[in-house]
Amino acid sequence: MDDLKHRLLDEFQRDFPLTPRPYAELAARLGVDEALVIDTLRTLHAQGVISRVGAVFRPNTVGASTLAAMAVPDDRLTSVAETVSAFAEVNHNYEREHAYNLWFVVTAPSAERVSAVLGEIEARTGIAVMDLPMIEDYHLDLGFELRH
């Protein structure tokens, strides 16, 4: 991965500029052209390195959300993860070493839509989804340095 991609991923996980032209500001900080920043982010998205560029809000302050888990047979993990990721309401999913090996977060405008998405995922995959709604919130900084 080239230096620009690394810098975009490392330096802007937090404090993304909230300006009318945030990519122009990123470009100025990086010493490159705005179009190059946008093209690089599009490439990272197309390669599956990033799923989106956008704000992250505290759970259940804007709409509703839940953590969910599924026990997916190993031979279906990739296809089920792709099905889950196809929902716009799923902002990320990840594999865990556990019987419940696929975990994901669903965020939607309402609790009813969250429930509907979980039901649609069950219907499309034939695998039960365990809904793990938040009882108490904790702030976890999910940013991490990618450079070695």
pLDDT at 6: 87
Q: CA 142, 100, 52, 90 torsion: positive or negative?
A: negative
pLDDT at 141: 59
pLDDT at 147: 60
Q: What is the pLDDT of residues 15-37, one digit of tens each?
A: 889 899 999 999 999 999 999 99
Q: What is the pLDDT of residues 36-70, one digit of tens each?
A: 999 999 999 999 888 788 776 666 677 899 999 99
Mean pLDDT score of the chain? 89
Instruction: Parse the chain into domains and list their residue ranges.
Output: 3-46, 64-132
Question: Strands (DSSP E) along 1-148, which ranges?
Answer: 64-70, 90-95, 102-108, 130-132
Q: What is the pLDDT of residues 81-114, one digit of tens each?
A: 999 999 999 988 899 999 999 999 999 999 999 9
In whole angstroms, how far apart are CA 9 and each of 20, 56, 113? 21, 16, 31
CATH topology of domain 64-132: Alpha-Beta Plaits (3.30.70)
Q: What are residue 72's phi and psi, to 5 degrees?
A: -105, 130
pLDDT at 31: 95
Q: Give the H or E element holding residue 42.
A: helix 34-46
pLDDT at 143: 63
